[in-house]
Amino acid sequence: MEEGTFLSRGNTCVPGPLKPGDTVERGACAVTEVLDRVGSKWSIMVIVSAAAGPIRFTELERTITGISRRMLTLTLRNLERDGLISRTVHPTAPPKVEYALTEVGVELNEYLAQLTRWAERHRTTIHQARSAYDAARAAR
C-alpha cells in the first residue's frame, strides 16, 4: 500500500462527519484513527482498570503489569484528549490526581466487556481453527 493512502500508517487525515455520497476511504480513515487509539493494549488496560470508578496513577501503575510510567502517562493523556478519561486534581498537599471514565469511556468499556465475553465463548473454536489451519499448511 502506498504511503499516504487512507489505510497507511503515515496518513494523518481527520475528516469531519460523513455525508451521503462520501467514499468508503473517507469513512475508513475516521474508523482507523479511532481504532488505533482505543484498540491499543495499554488503552484497553487503562479503560478496564478505570471501569470500577476513579483511580489514581499509582493504582493504575500497580494494576497494569508491564506498563512503564512514561507509557502510562502518554496513554492517559491520549485517552483524556480523546474524551474517554477525565482527570481530576484535588487541591491537597501533595495534589491528589484521579482518573475516571467519561460517559463515552463507560460505553466503550461495555463494548470491551462484550468482546471479552465473545472471546471467552469462542476461544476453543478459534484454537481448533488455528490447529486445523496449521496442520493443513504443514501438509503442503
Domain boundaries defined on the chain: 39-139
How many other β-carbons are positioned within 10 Å of the β-carbon of residue 106? 14
Q: Name every residue whose Cβ is closer than 8 Å to that of residue 53 and which is 6 or more positions away in sequence.
A: 100
The per-residue pLDDT for range 53-99, each reduced to its tens digit, is 999 999 999 999 999 999 999 999 999 999 999 999 999 998 899 99
Tell me the pTM: 0.71
Question: What's the Rg (C-alpha) of the chain?
Answer: 19
CATH 1.10.10.10 fits 39-139, yes or no: yes
The per-residue pLDDT for range 1-48, each reduced to its tens digit, is 444 444 444 444 555 565 666 665 655 677 787 888 788 899 999 999
Answer whether 76's CB lies under 8 Å from 40's CB.
no
